Chain A
Amino acid sequence: MKLVTAIIQPDKLDDVREALIAAEITRITVSRVSGHGRSVNQDLYRGQVVAPNLLPKVRLDIACNDAFVEIAVEAILQAARHNGGRIGDGKIFITHLEECIRIRTGERGGDAI
């Protein structure tokens, strides 16, 4: 089991969700986060361009069995890029997932995902 964590641009959330659902990955957790990578965001406020320090991003957490890791990664890669790839499109982290427990039944392991 692996935990796929993706940090993406907020405006790509719909596209990534649609791509994941098309790849039959529906069990995900989404949160709003702030962070900083290499991108410099520019917002317009009353006509003045402002570059804030921390930028809003969306974080997806997907726990999946090993067979689904590449499918999930491929779907995110295809959907989260702006015009074929741009600084600020985000990152994907894959970590080993030690255990997974379904609270309702107490099931453990791959079946619980």
Chain B
Amino acid sequence: MIFLAFAALFPVYAQSPAPCAVDSGATAWMLTSTAFVLLMIPGLAMFYGGLVRTKNVLGTMMHSFAAMAIVGVLWVVCGYAMSFGPNTLGGWIGWKKEYFFLSGIDTTILSAHVPEYVFAMFQGKFAMITPALIAGAFAERVSFRGYCLFITLWSLLVYNPLCHWVWASDGFLFKLGTIDFAGGTVVHIAAGVSGLTAALYLGARRGYPKTAMNPSNLVMTLMGAGLLWVGWFGFNAGSSVSSGLDTARALAVTQVAAATGAAMWMVIEALQHNKATSLGIVSGILAGLVVITPAAGVVQPAGAMALAAVASLVCYASIQIKNRMGYDDSLDVFGIHGVAGLLGALFLSFFIRPAWMAEAADKAGGSWTAWQQLAVQSAGVGLTILYSGLLSLGLVVLVEKTVGFRLESKLESAGMDSSLHGEQGYGLINLS
């Protein structure tokens, strides 16, 4: 029942019978947020592109841009209908004929006083960035054809159902009361777990971990992380689908969490190695941003700081464990997005603002404790891990057996830029 408080934030198609007027303030912010979230994808391309070797920089950036192209089309054709239509197939997905090709929303204004086009485009950006995130786990070693097929299937069969369960107002996790403000489960846990699954199945890069695999351009990685931080204000504060108090709260905790995560990572590295690295500080920024994503609607700044500090610690530890275990989650999609997403979605339970808890207690008929919320969160998280892990494994195997996913060894050592795209990323340093 506690979802009612939250339902106001996601008035997806709970339109009032009388046509709504457009609130130009809310609409302006949602348009801005939509552009911000789009900006995160080139930001991610720069972040990932800087971390791979010179011969793979274009191939890696293409993974992000291809997601913009492929999912950008799929979302309009059927993604929005599958995610935000009313329950179909027992609630596995949604479907609404009017959303097919977005044909029936030409004049729709949502009850949040925002045109539905804006909401559909805003949500579409989340659908694009999620498969792009996964690509970091199997960077530098997959065929472009296989990747394109994988994200097509993943978007249709993993993202859209998860998005429906968590964010559509009749999705069963939404009804259960699982809090996921801006995508801790749908985006980050799903991407982290799917990435880990794919990395384990496809195997390590040629030569890993014996050969040094140096980042091609950390300057670009830093710029990418900066764009991600800026874009994240749209990602989190835009998820309020309004322009008001909830937006301000989400924006404030997002800012605080990113800074705390970065500061914490610097401290850890200073203590461990006596040097704070640039890759470390951007990892801390990301850990902080990811951990606050599910929690941005319900925690206060002190809680955000606590979550972000813990996230940096645990992500740092999990990357050390990865190095010990020797599997090749190349750009730490699971280590950062999976782990921090998990932490945020679970531990937000202990930092929820008192007013929210009091309201939840009223609705539950007396009392509502953080532990009860934790149980609800665990259900959502557990289901996301199971669903995205199992389906991703199936999809990776399917793609590998049909068009081929893992790049053949010869092409891998030549580098994706020349072997897959016929170009060079850093060619300009050569006289030509």
Interface residue count on the A side (C-beta < 8 Å): 17
- Residues of B close to A74: CB separation below 8 A: none
What 1/0 flags go to A38-58 for Cβ under 8 Å of B? 000011110000001111100
A56 touches B423 (CB 8 A): no
> Separation in Å of the B50 CB from the closest CB of chain A?
18
- In the complex, A34→B415 CA distance in Å? 19
A43 touches B414 (CB 8 A): no
Which of A33, A43, A45 has the most chain B CB atoms closer than 10 A to its own CB? Answer: A43
Which of B55, B207, B427 has the most chain A CB atoms closer than 10 A to its own CB? Answer: B427
A54 touches B432 (CB 8 A): yes
A109 sits at the interface (CB 8 A): no
- In the complex, A11→B413 CA distance in Å? 7
A15 sits at the interface (CB 8 A): yes
Residue from A11, A34, A43, A44 within 8 A of B55 (CB atoms): A11
What 1/0 flags go to A14-43 for Cβ under 8 Å of B? 110000000000000000111000000011
- In the complex, A15→B207 CA distance in Å? 11
- Residues of A close to B418: CB separation below 8 A: 10-11
A56 touches B55 (CB 8 A): no
- In the complex, A10→B206 CA distance in Å? 17
- In the complex, A52→B424 CA distance in Å? 13
B414 touches A53 (CB 8 A): no
What 1/0 flags go to A57-99 for Cβ under 8 Å of B? 0000000000000000000000000000000000000000000
Interface residue count on the B side (C-beta < 8 Å): 17
A45 touches B431 (CB 8 A): no
Which of A14, A33, A42, A54 has the most chain B CB atoms closer than 10 A to its own CB? Answer: A14
- Residues of A close to B414: CB separation below 8 A: 11-12, 14
Known: A44-B422, A45-B423. A34 touches B431 (CB 8 A): yes
- Closest B residue to A56 by beta carbon equals B430
A34 touches B419 (CB 8 A): no
A43 touches B423 (CB 8 A): yes
- Closest A residue to B206 by beta carbon equals A14
B423 touches A44 (CB 8 A): yes
B432 touches A44 (CB 8 A): no
- In the complex, A12→B418 CA distance in Å? 12
> Separation in Å of the A83 CB from the closest CB of chain B?
10
B429 sits at the interface (CB 8 A): yes
- In the complex, A15→B211 CA distance in Å? 13
B413 touches A15 (CB 8 A): yes
> Separation in Å of the B20 CB from the closest CB of chain A?
44
Rank and list the top 4 A-B pairs by shortest CB-CB distance, nearest first.
A11-B414, A44-B422, A56-B430, A14-B413
27 example contacts (A-B, Cβ-Cβ < 8 A) are as follows: A10-B55, A10-B418, A11-B413, A11-B414, A11-B415, A11-B418, A14-B206, A14-B207, A14-B414, A15-B413, A32-B429, A33-B430, A34-B430, A34-B431, A34-B432, A43-B422, A43-B423, A43-B427, A44-B421, A44-B423, A45-B423, A52-B432, A53-B432, A54-B430, A54-B432, A56-B424, A56-B427
Further contacts, 5 of them, CB under 8 A, given A11-B55, A56-B432? A14-B206, A14-B207, A34-B431, A45-B423, A54-B432
On A, residues with C-beta under 8 Å from B are 10-12, 14-15, 32-34, 42-45, 52-56
